[in-house]
Structure formats: structure tokens, C-alpha cells
Structure 1
Amino acid sequence: RASGLNDPGDHSKAQNALAECVIGLFKAEVINQIGPWKSMREVEWETLKWVDWYNNRRLFGPIGYITPAEAEEAFYANLNTLDKVA
């Protein structure tokens, strides 16, 4: 079977690799650094704080040293512009 960009199997493997990378970062930066944990609520709170930082404050070099939230906003603004042109 030929492998390519449209191969759903390849796409899901790439998504899984990305998810595993993010989970690894989370474990290294939060779970292993802040614990031991007193309660599940404490883990949930630290998780919420980390996800907020990861999406809204972390400057990501490969996308121009902007936050992922800013990149997503620009992406959808560009789609809206393209829709108006078409």
C-alpha cells in the first residue's frame, strides 16, 4: 500500500506522536516537578494552569515567537479573509 499525506493511518500516527510529545512535556514540567500531590483537585488545578500557559503565554519559535492562541486566531482570520475574496 502506498503511503502519503492523504493516508489516514499516517495522519493518526503523526497526531499520536504530537500528543505523546505534549504529554511528555506536561509530565516533565508539572507532574514530576511540583508533586507529590495531596489531592486530585490539586493535580487538576495545576493542569489547568499549565494548559493556559501552554496555549496563551508560551512563545513558540517555529510559528514566529507568538503564542499558539495567537497563531490560531490569525489562521481563522485569514480563512475569513479568503472566504470574503472568494
Structure 2
Amino acid sequence: PSPDLVDREFSADSPDELFVGDITYIPTAEGWLYLAGVLDVFSRRLLGWSIADHMRTELCLDALRAAGVSRDKIRFAGTIFH
């Protein structure tokens, strides 16, 4: 298993210090959709999201990229996202 790098402490002293992500399932008449979101822990603001009919890596990467665009960050150097 991966180490718990935030030690289950989901708080931050400033914006852009700690982001969290999650995926949820959305039932539709045609089948399931999957929504991935990225939140800034400090502001509790939704920074990026992505929706797709699959739950592959690119779903989460698209949400993370959208968060980067909202924060004028093209790359997240040293980012661990799991």
C-alpha cells in the first residue's frame, strides 16, 4: 500500500498547499458516468473536474489538468495524486 503522506490531516494553512480528489458514480439511462473532482483543502473550492463514461487514469488526469488551469499551473512538480 501507498504511505499516507498527509497522515489523515486534511487541513492546510494556505491555498495550493494540499489538494484532494475523489471519484463518484452517476447513474444515467444509458449507463454509468464517472465524475472526478479536485478540491483545494484550504479554500474548499472545486478547482477542476472531469466526467466520462469510463474510470481510466485519463479521467483523473483531466480533472488534475483542469485544476492546474484554474490555478495558472501548467505542471505540478513533485505532485503525488492517488
TM over 0.5: no
Question: TM-score under structure 1 normalisation?
Answer: 0.29
Higher relative contact order (CA 8 A, sep 6+): 2
The two structures have a TM-score, normalised by structure 2, of 0.29
Structure richer in strand, relative to its length: 2
Larger Rg, first or second structure (1 or 2): 1
